[in-house]
C-alpha cells in the first residue's frame, strides 16, 4: 500500500520544526525527524512505507486525514485469486433474483473459483427454479420468513470459498464487483470489505432522493475501522468477508431482521480486525420507490437501534464540542427570550475563541493567517451546528415540537434545526430534486426513522442511543510519536 498527502495538506518548516498543516479541517501535526524524512521523501509522488512500523504510522495519519491511500492497479493472476462463495438470500422475488443472477454471470472472475449459493427462505413463487436454472446451489433456510440474516448463515455453513460475498436478490453486480474489492484482502488484518451501493432507478422522486440519501451508500471516500467505539459499519447487500473470520465471529444474528450487518461488522471490529469501505466494486440496489414503502423501510431501520445499543453498549454517537462553541450555541438558543443581548454575547464568545486559538498557534510557531483561522473556525462552527441539527431532527423533533406548543417563542428552534440539516444535506449531496421536494421527503424520513427508533427502544427497554457523547476539542497542534 502506498500513500500521498491529502488535498489541502502541506509540509512546512518553521524555525527548525516540520509541520503537517491541514487547512480543511484546520489541524497541525508537528513531526519528529523520522516521520519528517518519510513524508518529505514522498512530497513529489508516492509515500512508500518500507516496514510495518512505517505503514502503521501512515495508517494513523490516514485516519486523521493527513494522508490518503493510493491503490495500485493490480492484475492478479488466477493463482493469487481466492475462492469466493456468493450467497444470496431470497423470498418470493423470482424476477429480481433472475436479474441478479444474470448480472453475476457477467462478473469478471474465474468460474472455477466461484461458488453460487441461493438460500430460499420459504418462497411461494418460482425463486428456487430460477436459481437452479442459473446453475446455483439452492438450499432451504430451514423455515419460512426467517429473515435474510438467518438465510445468509445457512448459506455460509455450506460455503467452501475463502471469501463469502453477500449480495441481495434485489441487487445487480457490476462487472468488476469482485476484482475491485478482493485485492484489499492482501492486508492480513482486513477481514471485511464493502463496496459502493448505487440506486437502480431514478424514475420517481423517492428514487432520486435515495440516490444520495440511502443509508446503504457510504459515499465517495475510502473508510476503515478496527478497534474503537465509533459507529462505522458495512451494509450486507455488498459485503465480502473472510469465511473463517465470519464463522469465528458467529455470523449474523439470526434474530435480527434489520441492523444485522451493523451488529456483525461491529463484532468483527471488536475482535481487533479491520473492515474497509471502498468507493468501487459497485452494485445497484432497487430501493423502495413509493412514499409508503420508503417510510415503512425507514421505520424498520430505526427499530434496530434499541437492540444494537443493548448488544453494543460502548458504541454511541460522538460529537466534538469545543467548550466556547457550546457556550456560543447556548447563547444563540436564548435569543428568543433575551431580547437580543445574548446574540451580542455570542459574538464576543466567538471572537474570544478565535483570539485564543490564534495566540496558541502563534506561541507554538504555527503559520496560520488570521483570515484562514477565522474561516476555519466558522467552518467548524457550521459543522457543529449541522451535526447538532441533524441529531435533533432525527431523534428529538417530537419533543422539540411539544415544547413549542407550551412555549410558542421556542417554535423557531425545531424549524431551524430541520431546515438547517436539510439545506446542508441538499447542498452537499446535490440530488436531482428541488429543495422543496427534497425537504418534504427529508422530513418524512426523520419522522419515520424517529418513530422506529422510539418503538425499538421501547421494545428493548433501552434508550441509551438517545444520548450523545460530547468530547472536548483536541488540540489543533499535535505532536507525532
The mean of the pLDDT values for the chain is 87
pLDDT of residue 132 exceeding 90, the answer is yes
pLDDT of residue 120 exceeding 80, the answer is yes
Question: Distance (Å, rounded) from C-alpha 201 to C-alpha 208?
Answer: 8
Domain residues of the chain, as ranges?
Answer: 2-70, 80-288, 318-479
pLDDT in tens, 394-430: 988 888 888 889 888 888 889 999 999 999 999 999 9
pLDDT of residue 455 exceeding 50, the answer is yes
Model pLDDT, residue 76: 53
pLDDT in tens, 155-204: 999 999 999 999 999 999 999 999 999 999 988 889 999 999 999 988 89
Model pLDDT, residue 469: 67
Question: Distance (Å, rounded) from C-alpha 444 to C-alpha 435?
Answer: 14
Residue in the block written with cell 438465510: 151
| Pair 327, 239: CB distance under 8 Å | no
- Confidence category of residue 125, pLDDT binned at 50, 70, 90: very high
Model pLDDT, residue 481: 47
Model pLDDT, residue 476: 56
Residue of 172, 161, 33 whose CA lies nearest to 107 = 172
Question: Distance (Å, rounded) from C-alpha 279 to C-alpha 274?
Answer: 17
Model pLDDT, residue 54: 79
Q: What share of the chain in percent tops pLDDT 70?
A: 93
Model pLDDT, residue 79: 47
pLDDT of residue 94 exceeding 60, the answer is yes
pLDDT of residue 358 exceeding 90, the answer is no
According to CATH, the topology of domain 80-288 is: Spore Coat Polysaccharide Biosynthesis Protein SpsA; Chain A (3.90.550)
Question: Distance (Å, rounded) from C-alpha 130 to C-alpha 369?
Answer: 65
Helix (H) or strand (E) holding 266: helix 260-270
DSSP 145-161: S--HHHHHHHHHHH---
Q: What secondary structure, in 3-state letters, does the chain show? A: CEEEECCCEEEEEECCEEEEEEECCEEEEEECHHHHHHHHCCCCCCECCCCHHHHHHHHHHHHHCCEEEECCCCCCCHHHCCCEEEEEEECCCHHHHHHHHHHHCCCCCCHHHEEEEEEECCCCCCHHHHHHHCCCEEEECCCCCCCHHHHHHHHHHHCCCCEEEEECCCEEECCCHHHHHHHHHHCCCEEEEECCEEECCCCCHHHHHHHHHCCCCCCCCCEEECCCCCCCCCCCCEEEEEHHHHHHHCCCCCCCCCCHHHHHHHHHHHCCCEEEECCCCCEEECCCCCHHHHHHHHHHHHHHHHHHHHHCCCCCCEEECCHHHHHHHHHHHCHHHHCCHHHHHHHHHHHHHHHHHHHHHHHCCCCCCHHHHHHHHHHHHHHHHHHHHHHHHHHCHHHHHHHHHHCHHHCHHHHHHHHHHHHHHHHHHCCCCCHHHHHHHHHHHHHHHHHHHHHHHHHHCCCHHHCCEEECCCCCEEECC
> What order of strands is seen across the sheet that includes strand 17-23?
9-14, 17-23, 26-31, 477-479
Residue 408 DSSP label: G
The predicted model scores a pTM of 0.85
Residue in the block written with cell 428568543: 336
Other Cβ atoms within 10 Å of 139 Cβ, number: 17
pLDDT in tens, 33-75: 888 888 877 655 688 787 778 777 887 788 777 888 776 655 4
Question: Distance (Å, rounded) from C-alpha 476 to C-alpha 26?
Answer: 7
pLDDT in tens, 311-322: 998 887 777 777
Amino acid at each position: 500500500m502506498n500513500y500521498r498527502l491529502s488535498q489541502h495538506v502541506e509540509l512546512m518548516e518553521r524555525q527548525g520544526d516540520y509541520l503537517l498543516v491541514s487547512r480543511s479541517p484546520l489541524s497541525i501535526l508537528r513531526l519528529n525527524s523520522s516521520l519528517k524524512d518519510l513524508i518529505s521523501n514522498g512530497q513529489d509522488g508516492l509515500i512508500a512505507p518500507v516496514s510495518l512500523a512505517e505503514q502503521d504510522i501512515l495508517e494513523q495519519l490516514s485516519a486523521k486525514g493527513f494522508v490518503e491511500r493510493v491503490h495500485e492497479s493490480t492484475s492478479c493472476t488466477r493463482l493469487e485469486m481466492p475462492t469466493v462463495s456468493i450467497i444470496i438470500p431470497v423470498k418470493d422475488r423470482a424476477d429480481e433474483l433472475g436479474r441478479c443472477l444474470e448480472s453475476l454471470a457477467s462478473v469478471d472472475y474465474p468460474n472455477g473459483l466461484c461458488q453460487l449459493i441461493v438460500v430460499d427462505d420459504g418462497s411461494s413463487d418460482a425463486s428456487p427454479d430460477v436459481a437452479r436454472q442459473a446453475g446455483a446451489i439452492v438450499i432451504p433456510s430451514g423455515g419460512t420468513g426467517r429473515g435474510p440474516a438467518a438465510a445468509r448463515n445457512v448459506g455460509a455453513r455450506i460455503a467452501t470459498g475463502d471469501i463469502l460475498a453477500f449480495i441481495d436478490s434485489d441487487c445487480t453486480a457490476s462487472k468488476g464487483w469482485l476484482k475491485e474489492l478482493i485485492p484489499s484482502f492482501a492486508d492480513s488484518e482486513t477481514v471485511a470489505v464493502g463496496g459502493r451501493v448505487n440506486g437502480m432507478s431514478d424514475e420517481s422522486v423517492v428514487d432520486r432522493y435515495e440516490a444520495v440519501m440511502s443509508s446503504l451508500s457510504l459515499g465517495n471516500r475510502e473508510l476503515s475501522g478496527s478497534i474503537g467505539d465509533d459507529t462505522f459499519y458495512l451494509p450486507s447487500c455488498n459485503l465480502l468477508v473472510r469465511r473463517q473470520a465470519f464463522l469465528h465471529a458467529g455470523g449474523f444474528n439470526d434474530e435480527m431482521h434489520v441492523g444485522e450487518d451493523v451488529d456483525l461488522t461491529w463484532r468483527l471490529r471488536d475482535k481487533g480486525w479491520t473492515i474497509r469501505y471502498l468507493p468501487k466494486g459497485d452494485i445497484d440496489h432497487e430501493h423502495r420507490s413509493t412514499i409508503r414503502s420508503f417510510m415503512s423501510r425507514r421505520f424498520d431501520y430505526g427499530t434496530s437501534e434499541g437492540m444494537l445499543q443493548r448488544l453494543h453498549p460502548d458504541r454511541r454517537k460522538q460529537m466534538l464540542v469545543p467548550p466556547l462553541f457550546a457556550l456560543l450555541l447556548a447563547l444563540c438558543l436564548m435569543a428568543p427570550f433575551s431580547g437580543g443581548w445574548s446574540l451580542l454575547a455570542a459574538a464576543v464568545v466567538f471572537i474570544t475563541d478565535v483570539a485564543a486559538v490564534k495566540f496558541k498557534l502563534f506561541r507554538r510557531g504555527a503559520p496560520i493567517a488570521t483570515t484562514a483561522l477565522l474561516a476555519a473556525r466558522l467552518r467548524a462552527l457550521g459543522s457543529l451546528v449541522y451535526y447538532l441539527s441533524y441529531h435533533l431532527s432525527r431523534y428529538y423533533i417530537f419533543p422539540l415540537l411539544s415544547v413549542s406548543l407550551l412555549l410558542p417563542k421556542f417554535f423557531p428552534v425545531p424549524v431551524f434545526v430541520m431546515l438547517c440539516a436539510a439545506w446542508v444535506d441538499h447542498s452537499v449531496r446535490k440530488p436531482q430534486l428541488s429543495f422543496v421536494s427534497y425537504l418534504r421527503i427529508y422530513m418524512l424520513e426523520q419522522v419515520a426513522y424517529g418513530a422506529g427508533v422510539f418503538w425499538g427502544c421501547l421494545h428493548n427497554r433501552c434508550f441509551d442511543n438517545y444520548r450523545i457523547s460530547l468530547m472536548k476539542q483536541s488540540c489543533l497542534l499535535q505532536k507525532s510519536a
